[in-house]
């Protein structure tokens, strides 16, 4: 196949008019090899390597790996990755998990859920290929060529047919140098914004913990709590076991029955860590639920028993179902639901829950151990005041977090636009050519 110049109106390229008329285009498979090397089934079980799974790559292009032996590795751990390769997720492509792998110092293997692009040094420069793979044009094509609704996937051969600009290597390197410098500046700003959010979350957590363990009146008389780690508490408060504060609902129902299938089903992944916010609501039917679930009522406190360090809890906005990985709690008389929520979100409770959960292989806290945990509890009239105080103060912090998140979104959009503009010749980088 000969090089084809990309000219205005050329329908062989799905984005018409994207590239300069002097640039050439071919399917990406002409710029690189795809899935060049694979571990054979006869590999020694004691062979050690670092493994990259689909969940190890995020939409920002960051990736991580974990040590593994071939004998212990999942059957999908087969693609061999070399320094400079580009990983393109071919499953759940809406996640846009694409990463450039560099500085490989140990044998590296990735999931067969990736297409591994290895630049052809004669036609393409690996960093330019990586930036092209992160452009909106390439990513949108990967998503568009995917098949399936709940688990969309694309064949590696289809990825190989996505058009790719081919231009002189010195120009590719120049574009890559320009983007290395400019995206680094954006990434540093993003890091600062993320640190701001982290500090705001720490402030929020400290505010909640102090309010539910020491109260909001700095002049209140204090007394010993009888618990070493807790120290003093307000004199009118008491120390109670969780089982005397809430009742945990029991009895599972079949989510496939019409009565329950249209109810919202809440699982731990639907809750935001440490904020008490419910992120998503889908019915049991939408989620294809088949195993037994617990029913809850509007106003119940929902708490995730797995990985308690994430502190996932919320107030149920309506009747529904929750997974077996959650507890539906009914506040006992004299206890305000939102106060109980703040107790569960506090660092004090989270530390206790973590200590209990570490006794088993999969960190989780069982019903009996949860019920025995002891925490300070304010009188009901003060609970309401604490809830009002925390709602106001945390609301202000949440507003600041939202503003920083908005600026983060804009920075990420700018970085994506910058990459897409540079790899399609919209930015003049002639000054970068050595």
Contact yes or no for 332/378 (Cβ under 8 A): no
Q: How far apart are CA 121 and CA 306, in angstroms?
A: 48
In 3D space, the residue among 400, 379, 404 whose CA is nearest the CA of residue 207 turns out to be 400
The pLDDT score that the predictor gives to residue 2 is 37
391 and 340 both lie in a single domain: no
Q: In the prediction, which pLDDT does 113 show?
A: 95
What's the pLDDT score for residue 5? 44
Q: What is the extent of the structural domain holding 53?
A: 4-167
Which domain-ending residue is among 357, 377, 397?
377
Q: Are residues 30 and 113 in the same domain?
A: yes
For residue 94, the model assigns a pLDDT of 85
82 plus 147 within the same structural domain:
yes
- DSSP string across 347-416: HHHHHHHHHHHTTSSS-B--HHHHHH-EEEE--HHHHHHHHHHHHHHHHHHHHHHHHHHHHHHHHHHHHH
The residues with which 248 forms a beta bridge, in sequence order, are 329
What is the pLDDT at residue 150? 73
The count of other CB atoms within 10 Å of the CB of residue 219 is 4
In a domain, 207, yes or no: no
Please tell me whether residues 336 and 369 are part of one structural domain. Answer: yes
**Measured between alpha carbons, how far is 401 from 199 in angstroms, rounded to an integer?**
10
Residues 419 and 334 in one domain: no
CA 348 to CA 376: how far, in whole Å? 10
When divided into structural domains, the chain yields a total of 3
DSSP H or E segment with residue 87: strand 86-89
Select from 377, 400, 418 the last residue of a domain. Answer: 377
Convert the pLDDT of each residue in 55-102 to its tens digit: 999 988 999 999 999 999 999 999 999 999 999 999 988 888 999 998
Q: Whole-angstrom Cα distance, residue 50 to residue 398?
A: 38
Distance in angstroms (rounded) separating the CA atoms of residues 90 and 76: 13
Indicate if 346 and 407 belong to the same structural domain. no
| Residue 320 shares a structural domain with residue 426 | no
How do strand 48-52 and strand 86-89 relate by DSSP bridges?
A: unpaired
Do 159 and 11 reside in the same domain of the chain? yes
The per-residue pLDDT of the chain, averaged, comes to: 91
Is the residue at 357 inside a domain?
Answer: yes
Same domain? 158 vs 242: no
Is 59 in the same domain as 157? yes
Asked which of 128, 147, 167 is the last residue of a domain, the reply is: 167
How much is the pLDDT for 14?
63
**Weakly modelled stretches of the chain, pLDDT under 50:** 1-11
Q: Are residues 10 and 142 in the same domain?
A: yes
pLDDT in tens, 402-414: 999 999 999 999 9
pLDDT of 9 reads 38
82-116 burial string, b = 16+ CB within 10 Å, else e?
eebbbbbbbbbbeebbbbbbeeeeeebbbbbbbbb
Let me know whether 37 and 112 are in one domain: yes
Q: 268 near 326, Cβ under 8 Å?
A: yes
Report H helices in 12-165: 126-133, 136-144, 156-160
Question: Side by side, which strands form the sheet with 282-283?
Answer: 252-253, 293-296, 320-322, 264-266, 282-283
pLDDT at site 13? 60
């Amino acid at each position: 196949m000969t090089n084809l110049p990309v000219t205005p109106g050329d329908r062989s390229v799905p984005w018409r008019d994207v590239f300069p008329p002097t640039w050439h285009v071919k399917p990406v498979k002409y710029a690189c090899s795809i899935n060049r090397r694979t571990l054979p089934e006869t590999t020694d079980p004691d062979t050690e390597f670092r493994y990259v799974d689909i969940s190890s790559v995020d939409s920002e292009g960051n990736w991580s790996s974990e040590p593994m032996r071939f004998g212990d590795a999942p059957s999908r751990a087969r693609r061999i990755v070399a320094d400079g390769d580009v990983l393109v997720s071919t499953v759940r492509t809406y996640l846009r998990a694409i990463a450039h792998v560099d500085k490989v110092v140990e044998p590296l293997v990735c999931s067969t859920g990736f297409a591994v692009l290895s630049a052809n040094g004669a036609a393409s420069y690996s960093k330019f290929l990586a930036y092209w793979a992160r452009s909106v044009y390439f990513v949108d094509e990967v998503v568009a060529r995917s098949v399936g609704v709940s688990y969309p996937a694309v064949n590696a051969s289809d990825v190989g047919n996505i058009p790719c600009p081919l231009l002189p290597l010195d120009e590719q390197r120049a574009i890559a140098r320009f983007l290395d410098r400019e995206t680094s500046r954006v990434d540093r700003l993003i890091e600062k914004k993320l640190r701001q959010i982290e500090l705001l979350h720490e402030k929020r957590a400290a505010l909640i913990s102090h309010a539910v363990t020491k109260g909001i009146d700095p002049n209140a008389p204090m007394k010993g709590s009888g618990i070493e780690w807790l120290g003093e508490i307000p004199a009118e408060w008491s120390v109670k076991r969780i089982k005397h504060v809430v009742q945990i609902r029991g009895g599972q129902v079949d989510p496939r029955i019409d009565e329950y299938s249209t109810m919202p089903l809440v699982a731990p992944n639907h809750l935001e860590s440490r904020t008490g916010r419910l992120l998503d609501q889908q019915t049991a039917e939408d989620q294809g639920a088949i195993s037994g679930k617990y029913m809850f009522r509007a106003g119940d406190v929902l708490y995730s028993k797995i990985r308690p360090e994430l502190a996932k809890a919320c107030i149920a906005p309506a009747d529904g179902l929750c997974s077996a990985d959650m507890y539906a709690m009914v506040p006992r008389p004299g206890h305000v639901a939102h106060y109980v929520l703040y107790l569960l979100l506090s660092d004090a409770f989270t530390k206790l829950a973590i200590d209990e959960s570490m006794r088993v292989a999969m960190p989780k806290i069982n019903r009996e151990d949860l019920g025995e945990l002891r925490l300070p509890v304010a009188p009901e009239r003060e609970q309401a005041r604490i809830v009002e105080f925390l709602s106001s103060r945390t609301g202000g912090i949440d507003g600041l977090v939202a503003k920083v998140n908005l600026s983060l979104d804009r920075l990420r959009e700018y970085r994506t636009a910058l990459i897409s503009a540079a790899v399609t010749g919209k930015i003049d980088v002639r000054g970068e050519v050595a």
